[in-house]
Amino acid sequence: MDEEEVCDFLEEALLVVAMGLCLKRKCKEDEEKATKKKRKYVKTVWVHNWLLEQQRLEHGWYGQLMEALEEGDLKTYKRLLRMDPDLFRELVARLTPRLMKQDTNMRKALPVGLKVALTLRFLASGDTYLSLAASFRVGASTISPMIGEVCQAIYDEYHDELLSCPTTPEEWKKVAKDFSDRWNFENCLGALDGKHVRIKAPANTGSMYYNYKGHFSVVLFALVDARYRFRYIDVGANGSCSDAGLFMETSLRKALDQNKAGMPEPESLPKDDIPLPYAFVGDDAFPLKQWLMKPYALNKMRHKQRIFNYRLSRARRIAENAFGILANRFRCFHRPMQQKPETVVKIVLAACTLHNWLASKKPEKILRRADYENQDTYEVTPGAWRQEETLTALQRLKGNYGTKSAKDQRDYLADYYVSVGKVPWQDRMVYGKGQGPEHQPTRTLGHEG
């Protein structure tokens, strides 16, 4: 290769290298432009304008609407929060020490009243966090932990005062006297029942919470007194377990089995002198025990069995009504709860606590919501809550469960309620106005002549 050819080759090589460098530089410039263009549309926002404090004060429910409703529309105020303004302020005052937060350099703490109002609205409606965010001008990411925090504070503040289970014979006897005076069922320590609370399927749990009705749930057990108040609750067991087995695992059942519940000794019934054990009342979801009376099977019932079932149903309906009123007042129970199971437990505990608190403040409202039995017309008017039952009942036991001593105790009560323990209206309530039973002979109770 002569000198001229070498020069031409080197010139072409340099040209190729130069073109490569230019192309590389052009690609780098294009990449930088694309990155800058993308960054142009990514804007970090500390807080959206519609969530600013001024917007919250001017347009949020807590800042304006609640004040306007208190002045001009109390009915709507109570529908929104399930209580009147005075009760709301009382609740906020009690919870303030538990919920008060300090302001920081970055932001002001949300008022306790706003937190409580938002949580009450969630309980009353079951609204989504996005809907609550729009109403109260609080971010959904802030609402998520807030509801669990407020619900826990409600339960912690009022538990000992409103949800304490009797632990001494004297305390149990007060409950029993109330059942005798109000519902004509003797030696009754409370109505026991349970419900499935629907939830969204928790992540990575498979069928753990899948119940016999075909949806996901946690189970709520409760003992209810004669005034529709929860005296004991156990919530959180997954819905796939056997309902009968779930009750076996409650602390109440364990205390009963270990004789640590503080139950009173057997006592004779009015106008009788044979001591009879105290007992709870329940339905067919529970086994017949000396400490738990349940109805007779519906087939082949004689007169005394029908009367017993009627008398027991008057006491047992208290638990049904308590659950119905709870779900009717707090409509978060009307749809599957979207929270994690541990947060659902806090929500249920808070709802039951508020149910008792409102029952203690406004007992007449509870009576208006419950079933009403007219002993003059011999008719039962169902409570309004029965038009929209949302809590699923426990699965009923199959077979004839019950010890001989428990069956004997139930038979004794059945005889008692058609003899010295009868009430004037019971036959007509069972058989209808103007009708009567073909009475079956009954044995004498105790030493009554």
What is the C-alpha R_g of the chain?
A: 33
62-95 pLDDT, tens digit per residue, is 878 888 898 988 999 999 999 999 999 999 999 9
pLDDT value, residue 442: 44
Nearest partner of 289 among 405, 415, 166, 173, judged by Cα = 405
Mean pLDDT of the chain: 85
pLDDT at 380: 78
Q: Residue 12 — pLDDT band, cuts 50, 70, 90?
A: low
Helices (H) and strands (E) in the chain, counts: 16, 10
pLDDT at 45 (0 to 100): 47
Q: CA angle at residue 251 from 393 to 174, to 5 degrees?
A: 85
Residues with Cβ within 8 Å of 428's Cβ and at least 6 positions away in sequence, in order, are: 378, 434, 435, 436
269, amino acid identity: L
Instruction: Read off the pLDDT band of 109 (50, 70, 90).
Output: confident
pLDDT for position 394: 84
Query: What are residue 268's DSSP bridge partners?
Result: 275
Q: Over the stretch 314-371, which tens digit does the pLDDT of each residue have?
A: 999 999 999 999 999 999 999 999 999 999 999 999 999 999 999 999 888 887 788 8
Residues 122-137 have a mean pLDDT of 92
Percent of the chain residues past pLDDT 70, beyond the cut:
81
pLDDT at 384: 77
CB 436 within 8 A of CB 407: no
By the 8 A CB rule, do 324 and 355 touch? no
- Per-residue pLDDT at 229 exceeds 60: yes
Is 125:117 a contact under the CB 8 Å cutoff?
no
Average pLDDT estimate for 11-34? 62
**Would you state the pLDDT for residue 444?**
43
The pLDDT, as a whole number, for residue 447 is 38
Give the burial class of 267: count Cβ atoms within 10 A of its Cβ; 0-12 exposed, 13-18 middle, 19 or more buried: middle
User: What residue ranges in 182-255 does DSSP mark as E strands?
Assistant: 188-198, 217-224, 230-238
Q: What is the rounded distance in angstroms from the CA atom of residue 392 to the CA atom of residue 198?
A: 8
Asked if residue 264 lies in contact with residue 169, where contact means CB atoms within 8 angstroms, the answer is yes
Per-domain boundaries in the chain: 49-162, 169-431
Going along 69-216, which residue ranges are E strands?
A: 188-198
Contact between 337 and 200 (Cβ < 8 Å): yes
Q: What is the pTM of this model?
A: 0.83
Residues 6+ apart with CB under 8 A from 219: 194, 195, 196, 197, 235, 236, 237, 238, 239, 241, 243, 246, 394
